[in-house]
Amino acid sequence: GAGVSQSPSNKVTEKGKDVELRCDPISGHTALYWYRQSLGQGLEFLIYFQGNSAPDKSGLPSDRFSAERTGGSVSTLTIQRTQQEDSAVYLCASSSRQGAGEQYFGPGTRLTVT
């Protein structure tokens, strides 16, 4: 079946502009996660949605970052007033309540702030 999809695949923006990144999870997956991967680095947790529960926002690096998940499916990560240090690949993952909570990743959005 269809995997996790993300759009856009690449985004170049000027410092100070706002950006929106979109994630479509695997159909039926109730959990959705956002991670960030800087060049040559590991994956850093940002935010996690599970069903109708309050999201775990503990990984968001500043109040310029926010995310929402509408209707329990699609999620949007918004970065306001982008800075150069926001440049990274933003990865989305989803998981179901079955099994051990295996997370499957989307292809990511490469964000470049100039």
Comparing CB distances to other proteins, the nearer of 82 and 106 is 106
By CB under 8 A, tell whether 50 contacts other proteins: yes
Q: Which of 25, 32, 33, 86 binds other proteins (CB under 8 A)?
A: 33
Q: Residue 101 burial by CB count (10 A; 0-12/13-18/19+): exposed, middle or buried? A: exposed
- 25 touching other proteins, by CB under 8 A: no
Q: Please tell me whether residue 95 binds other proteins under the rule CB under 8 A.
A: yes
102 part of the interface to other proteins, by CB under 8 A = yes
> What is the distance between the alpha carbons of residues 84 and 94, in angstroms, rounded to a whole number?
28
Residue 65 near residue 19 (C-beta atoms within 8 A):
no
Number of residues that bind other proteins (CB under 8 A): 25
Q: Which listed range, 12-20, 28-36, 63-71, 78-86, lies at the site for other proteins (CB under 8 A)? A: 28-36
Residue 83: φ, ψ to 5°:
-120, 160
**Residue numbers of the site for other proteins (CB under 8 A)?**
31, 33, 35, 41-45, 48, 50, 56, 58-59, 91, 95, 97, 100-108
